[in-house]
């Protein structure tokens, strides 16, 4: 069996790929480039391709099918960048990976603290030697009601870790309540969560139902001065609605590790480019908005998990074993 890795990072993933390729007896080839029509030829003779979130079109699926590739291995939890229905129609199997939820959960809490304590403004002004206090007063998250939307692995971890801060926690989960979480949080409907939360953190998947779930209507139901945290997917938030609400003060602050139109930005070096992304430019300009480039996942433990489970998925396929990472 053989994998063609695309956008494999030499500085952190390559050594792990060599380690796990040897462990599972699977060969691989690689490129640091994102997949495109020209470099997909790397996959000739391979059983699978491994990709991170990137542009991945129906045309790419057709090309890979002609090369005899049978498996698409998403080196990420999310797989919304893959045209799932078309890929399955073409006979592909698809898998994603899992990793310990602490990395994203703790990052989300960090963003809550940064937003609530106005850290961006404090640091910007300190860089200009403005050490005055006016306008820097924050709020204690211990005194806040924090709403967590989505209590899967990451959302549940956020709630458990937040419980140590003493905050009141509300939770909403479309797919039912987690009995373990009830000792830390009160489950409620979305309307109640919107109405009563000082901070709202998103931990749901990107799909048709969650697309722009944060919009003019949902924001209108929230407390004045609410803080929004998003470490999930940028498409959960209507950017225009978010920007408008920040300008009016309805939303007092935001911590965003993802934005709606980040494709083509993250994870490229665009340091000398003129970016055609008004959303990022406006949000980054606000002193009360922290924008980070989709790095909540990025820890040593997570990267190791992502690479190993890529090999595990193909090994399970090779040995006719069920694979818990398959996209159903």
71-74 β-sheet, strand order: 27-30, 2-5, 48-51, 71-74, 93-95
Main-chain dihedrals φ then ψ at residue 292, nearest 5 degrees: -120, 150
**Active site includes 81?**
no
CA distances 155 to 5, 40, 80, 135, 178, Å, are 30, 36, 19, 32, 11
> Are 8 and 30 spatial neighbours (Cβ–Cβ below 8 Å)?
yes
The single residue of 294, 300, 304, 308 carrying the catalytic annotation is 294
> Are 39 and 33 spatial neighbours (Cβ–Cβ below 8 Å)?
yes
Distance CA 255, CA 144 (A): 16
SS3 for 183-226 is HCCEECCHHHHHHHCCEEEECCCCCCCCCCCECHHHHHCCCCCE
**Active site includes 294?**
yes
Strand 186-187 versus strand 168-172 pairing type: parallel
The single residue of 203, 233, 260, 308 carrying the catalytic annotation is 233
Distance CA 241, CA 219 (A): 8
Per DSSP, 144 falls in state S
Q: Is 55 helix (H, G, I), strand (E, B) or coil?
A: coil
Distance CA 35, CA 224 (A): 44
Longest pairwise C-alpha distance within the chain = 65
**Active site includes 212?**
no
Query: Which residues in 113-131 are b (16+ Cβ under 10 Å) and which e?
Result: ebbbbbbbbbeebeeeeee
CA distances 216 to 59, 155, 222, 251, 322, Å, are 36, 24, 10, 12, 43
In degrees, rounded to 5, the angle at the alpha carbon of residue 244 between the alpha carbons of residues 239 and 248 is 150
The single residue of 262, 270, 279, 300 carrying the catalytic annotation is 262
Residues acting as catalytic residues: 233, 262, 294
């Amino acid at each position: 069996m053989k994998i063609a890795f695309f956008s494999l990072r030499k500085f952190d993933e390559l050594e792990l790929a060599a380690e796990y390729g040897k462990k599972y007896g699977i060969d691989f080839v690689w490129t640091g480039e994102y997949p495109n029509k020209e470099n997909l030829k790397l996959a000739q003779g391979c059983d699978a391709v491994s990709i991170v979130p990137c542009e991945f079109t129906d045309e790419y699926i057709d090309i890979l099918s002609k090369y005899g590739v049978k498996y698409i291995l998403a080196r990420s939890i999310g797989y919304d960048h893959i045209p799932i229905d078309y890929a399955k129609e073409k006979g592909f199997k698809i898998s994603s990976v899992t990793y310990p939820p602490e990395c994203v959960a703790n990052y989300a809490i960090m963003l809550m603290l940064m937003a609530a304590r106005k850290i961006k403004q404090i640091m910007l002004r300190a860089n200009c030697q403005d050490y005055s206090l006016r306008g820097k007063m924050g709020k204690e998250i211990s005194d806040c009601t924090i709403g967590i939307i989505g209590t899967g692995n990451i959302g549940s971890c956020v709630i458990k870790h937040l419980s140590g801060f003493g905050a009141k926690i509300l939770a909403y989960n479309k797919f039912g309540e987690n009995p373990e979480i009830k000792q830390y949080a009160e489950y409620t409907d979305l309307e109640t969560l919107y109405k009563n939360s000082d901070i709202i953190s998103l931990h749901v998947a990107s799909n048709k139902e969650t697309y722009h779930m944060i919009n003019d209507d949902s924001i209108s139901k929230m407390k004045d001065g609410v803080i929004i945290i998003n470490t999930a997917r940028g498409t959960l938030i209507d950017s225009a609605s978010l920007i408008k609400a920040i300008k009016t003060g309805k939303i007092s602050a935001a911590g965003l590790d993802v934005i709606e139109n980040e494709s083509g930005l993250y994870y490229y070096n665009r340091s000398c480019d003129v970016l055609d992304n008004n959303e990022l430019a406006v949000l980054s300009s606000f002193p009360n908005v922290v924008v980070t480039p989709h790095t909540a996942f990025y820890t040593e433990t997570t990267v190791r998990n992502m690479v190993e489970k890529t090999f595990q998925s193909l090994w399970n396929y090779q040995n006719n074993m069920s694979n818990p990472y398959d996209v159903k």
